[in-house]
Structure 1
Amino acid sequence: MEKIRTAIGLMSGTSMDGIDVALLRTDGADVVERGPAKGFAYDAAFRRSLQAALETAKAIARRDERPGDLAALERELTLRHAEVVAAFLSENGLAARDIDVVGFHGQTVLHRPERALTVQIGDGELLSRKTGIDVVYDMRANDMAHGGQGAPLIPVYHAALARNLPANCAFPVVFVNIGGISNLTYVGADGEIAAFDSGPGNTLIDQWVEAQAGIPFDQGGMIASEGRVLASLSARYLDHPFFTGRERRSLDRNDFLPPTGADASLEDGARTLAHVTAAAILKSAGHLPQMPKTYVVCGGGRLNRIIMSDLAELAAARDARVIPAEAVGLDGDSMEAEAWAYLAVRSLDGSPLTFPTTTGVKAAITGGLVTRSNRDVILGLVPRI
């Protein structure tokens, strides 16, 4: 058996709402002992800076480029992560010496698999120096260097969780993460895994209500509950070639753009986009090896009751059940951060992070850059090019 390590995972997702932190004790294989977790929200000004960075990042041609103010933003982002780690340790009576490794996702500002280009800003070496803990970061790039899409990376963790699901979870099981972009992980009764991005998650709804009402998201689906589904607007998204293409591919936040104010009222737009989020999951599930019997939903989208209601109704029509992660003893908010801790341990052991059936990589492969807290870079699987 591999060594059991204590790891912290740090996740700042495409919703750009803050940093999720989770502690895990794991061997990177079958042993998964979930510890405390917490979310730390970004202030509105910093969130706007991250959103602006998406435009700046469009000029990037090489992974090490940081045009405009991206270098300064990367440093600030990293320092915020260091502060969050310090706060998390203090709140849980822990010290840096108690943690073997930090899995650091950073913030995705550009993801273009057709160009084998993915950029997550975040300085792993700086984070290691500030925290005094070894850091694994830049975990997507090696997959892309070997023909993969660079996403999703979480399926290997989902597969570990699936081995301990309650008996009433009928297989095949699909873990649905509704973040800014939604993604699916299929786990068959025999342990077979397959995964891919399924379409827009919260990002369109967030962008819509922020543009139209000046608020960051539709809390609980309250705005959507006052609207109706506009068939023509829904079809604009659900008829997108992404859903019918023979090959699955990972998505960038800019692959689906929000409506304009002329397309709908605030409420009808929110309602329609909630439906699109749910329907996209079912459309993409058609590309899985078998139709799922159970959907376990995590990510912020599970808190939108309109998305969950639509998803449950659409799944029931295919003889499947939709349940939130908490109903099976998991934490739908911290699962991605937990996964980054799990992946960091696997990276240290040289175990695969991605597989042909999850990212399209040519063969199962490990990844990540590892920076030791003594500032010596011990392992660099992908050079910055």
Structure 2
Amino acid sequence: MNKAIAKQGAVRALGAMSGTSMDGVDAAVIETDGHRILGFGETGYRAYAPEERDVLRAGQGQWHGPQVEAAGELVTRAHAEVLSDFEEVDLIGFHGQTLAHEPRGRGTLQVGDGNGLAQALGLPVVWDFRSDDVAMGGEGAPLAPFFHFACAKWIGATEPLCFLNLGGVGNLTYADPSFDGPEAAGALLAFDTGPANAPVDDLMQARRGQPMDRDGAMAREGTVEMAVLEQFLAEPFFARMPPKSLDRNDFAKMTGLVAPLADADAVATLTAMCAAGVAQGMEHCPKPPSRVLVTGGGRHNPVLMEMLRVSLDCAVDPVETVGLDGDMLEAQAFAFLAVRVARGLPTSGPGTTGVAALVGGGIVSAPERRSLQTR
């Protein structure tokens, strides 16, 4: 293993994330010892072209076959392009693209060739973060909570708070920084709250040929259909105790629920569903959080943020208010987790994925014919 990884002290790690919104690849450097955040570095982004998003959409919900292979090749190539622009990096955390997630069934599938990236970039790559957790009975998601705990420490929080990620799917981390580390029982609780941006994005693409409801403009024009919202909240998922996770397509029938509605009313209702799912999820927090810090694309939607502020009994702010980067937080999380995997530290536990015991998942692929001590 790379001496820079094996030793105690700071590691300069590069993380990459391609989320369920399928908009592109986020890449970010952090300095960490696997326990604490020691500094944030440069970031990068590589957008997916419309035809590339079509390739990824074709693979969604598939477990094997030519569409999965095409998506994997695209993901690997896109990551190689953006990650090759970074210098002075010790290792890479590569999440890949989730195509299917069925922890109680067939498992979880993130496409992209971590070993191929290691050879192409000449750096060790940590990847396949979720499979071990699922194999041990966990949900395999969310995986950012251990990093969220480090973020809570980094910003100097002293009271319990929540990190809310609103990507294609919403997920919530309750973090109590009074504990010494994320492994402690009670330090973390995490779970998916329900669909977030994905249904709105899909509807906007299908009806308007637009990738998203930019700035919530369409939702602001519409009226929430309360009967549809109530039907959504009656879904069994919301009655389940956390930890729990979702696949991007688990609530696909939401599109059918809003099909009779005008465009603006449909988008407003889907947006309200996201906020209502979060409000339901907050009831599971062990203590009332002091605030909710929002990351992911949803924080750019002022209508959604207004709905959250009305629904929740605490301050709701984008993570930028505490000096974090909401566009890069998940990429940074996988840089942090990569260091933990390389050092044999757990990356999930009973409170975050429901796994029976602490587990550190991930494969470490080393580049061939190159000294791993050379950057």
| Fold equivalence (TM over 0.5) | yes
2:44 is aligned to 38
For residues 84-131 of structure 1, give each alpha carbon's deviation from its aligned partner in whole angstroms, at most 9, with x where no partner exists: 112x32xxxx2xxx2111100100001001115000001011111111
Please tell me whether the aligned partners of residues 120 and 138 of structure 1 are also in contact (alpha carbons under 8 angstroms).
yes
2:54 match:
48
For 1:14-163, what aligned pairs fall within 5 Å after superposition?
A: 14-55=20-61, 57=62, 60=63, 66-86=64-84, 88-89=85-86, 94=87, 98-115=88-105, 117-163=107-153
**Structure 1 residue aligned with 2:168, among 180, 184, 196?**
180
Q: Compute the displacement of 1:288 (Å).
A: 1.9
Residues 213-249 of structure 1 deviation map (CA, whole Å, 9 limit, x = unaligned): 1111111111111111110121222221111123542
Query: Which residue number in structure 1 is paired with residue 287 of structure 2?
Result: 290
CA distance in 2, matches of 1:321, 1:247: 23
Which residue in 2 is equivalent to 1:228?
A: 223
Residue 189 of structure 1 deviates from its aligned partner by: 4.7
- Secondary structure at the aligned position of 2:154 is classed as coil
Amino acid paired to 1:127: L
What TM-score do you get using the length of structure 1 for normalisation?
0.89
> What is the CA–CA distance in structure 1 between the aligned matches of 2:70 and 2:53, rounded to whole Å?
15
Q: State the alpha-carbon separation in 2 of the partners of residues 375 and 45 from structure 1.
A: 36
Task: State how far apart, in whole Å, the 1-side matches of 2:131 and 2:225 are.
Answer: 39
- Say whether the 8 Å CA contact 1:13–1:107 is kept in structure 2: yes
The Cα shift of 1:280 comes to 0.8
Matched, 1:199 2:194: yes
- Separation in 2 of the partners of 1:31 and 1:280? 31
Tell me, yes or no, if the aligned pair for 1:166 and 1:328 is still in contact at 8 Å: no
**C-alpha distance 100-322 of structure 1, shift in aligned 2 (>3 A):** same
Once the two structures are overlaid, the 10-residue window that deviates more, 140-149 or 258-267, is 258-267
Deviations 1:337-365 (A, max 9, x none): 00010000000000000011000111111
Tell me by how many angstroms 1:263 deviates: 2.4
Alpha-carbon shift at residue 38 of structure 1 (Å): 2.5
Structure 1 outlier segments of 4+, above 3 Å: none
Summarize the Cα distance change of 1:243–1:269 in structure 2 as closer, same or farther, 3 Å threshold: same
Letter in 1 for 2:23: D
* TM-superposition CA deviations, 1:42-75 (whole Å, max 9, x none): 00000011001014x1xx3xxxxx3123223312
Which residue of structure 2 lines up, in the alignment, with residue 263 of structure 1? 260
SS at match of 1:255: coil
Which of 269, 281, 284 is residue 272 of structure 1 equivalent to? 269
Alpha-carbon distance in structure 2 between the residues aligned to 1:375 and 1:18: 31
Q: What is the CA-CA distance between 1:367 and the residue it aligns to? A: 1.1
Secondary structure of 1:363's counterpart equals coil
**Which deviations, in whole Å up to 9, do the C-alpha atoms of 1:258-315 show, x marking residues without a partner?**
4246421111111111111111111011112123220000000000111100101111
Q: Supply the RMSD in Å over aligned alpha carbons.
A: 1.7
TM-score after normalising by structure 2: 0.91
Unaligned runs of 5+ in 2: 1-6, 180-186
Residues 116 and 145 in structure 1, CA contact (< 8 A), matched pair in contact too? no
- Name the SS of the counterpart of 1:99 in structure 2: coil
Aligned length: 356
Residue type of the partner of 1:216?
Answer: P
Paired with 1:313 and 1:171, the residues of 2 have a C-alpha distance of 22
Residue 164 of structure 2 aligns to a residue whose secondary structure is strand
Q: Is this contact kept in 2: 1:125–1:375, CA < 8 A?
A: no
CA pair 375-346 structure 1, distance change in 2 beyond 3 A: farther
8 Å Cα contact 2:189/2:243 also seen in 1: no
Whether the aligned pair in 1 keeps the contact of 2:198 and 2:248 (CA below 8 Å) is yes
